[in-house]
Amino acid sequence: MTDRTGLATPEVESAKAYDAEFAAVTKTDATGVDISSVSAPRVQAMQIEQARIEPGMAVLEVGSGGPNAAYLSEMVGKAGRVVTMDIDSEVTDRATTFLTAAGYQNVTVLTADAEEGAPDHGPFDRIVVTVQAADIPPAWMQQLKVGGRLVVPLRMRGLTRTVAFVREGDHLVSDGFELCGFVPMQGAGENRVRLAVLHDTEGEEIGLRIDGHPEPDAKALSEALFTSWAA
């Protein structure tokens, strides 16, 4: 059996890498917000179930890392193909190294902004998005075959849900969703979650994760927090 998750996260102990609820964070931004990870195995399995992958399909994965593309490759088989893409070259380099070492030959890795999809490689039977999105770019539906399925984590009112859609003619119809958590999309469709740290001392951190709102006055919020404690 090919070691998928373990090869993609060599810095993590194997038993931990395969823990059903463990997500391996591989990159954070300057504020401490996670921007790249290998999703927890349970979440990967949940999205694959939502997508209903079948042998011989063409699948686009948005948000690369390696292991999930390998699972998709196994499910579509030799007659199928997988395209996995990410805007971050460090992520796609890591995915390429992993997929090559694991022996997968029907997976194409692209470094590009997925806002425009992968028009040179479509149309697709399935599109599986493994990063949190604020909306669905038109290109994704246009490159999805009629009757095809799109699975995408959408952040709405502070919660992220991985939603399964079916393309019916010129529109998408949802037939299910699950609560989840994913790193935010980067690029043209970005709606980055920001971290406002209100207190950070002696290993204790208190902060607010904010999306879709103006930049807060962290100093005023911190003062209000400590005033409340003092009272």
Which residues are designated catalytic? 39
Rounded to whole angstroms, how far apart are CA atoms 75 and 58?
Answer: 11
Residues 6 or more apart whose Cβ sits within 8 Å of residue 60: 82, 83, 84, 85, 117, 118, 121, 122, 124, 126, 127, 128, 143
Q: Retrieve residue 133's tokens.
A: 């999105």
For residue 30, what are its two tokens?
A: 């300057």
- Report which DSSP code applies to 230: H
Cβ contacts of 101-104, under 8 Å, gap ≥ 24: 101/7, 102/2, 102/3, 102/4, 102/7, 102/66, 102/70, 103/2, 104/69, 104/70, 104/73
Cβ neighbours, 10 Å, residue 96: 18
Residue pair 127/144 in contact (Cβ under 8 Å)? The answer is yes
Within 10 A of 51 (CB to CB), how many other CB atoms are there?
23
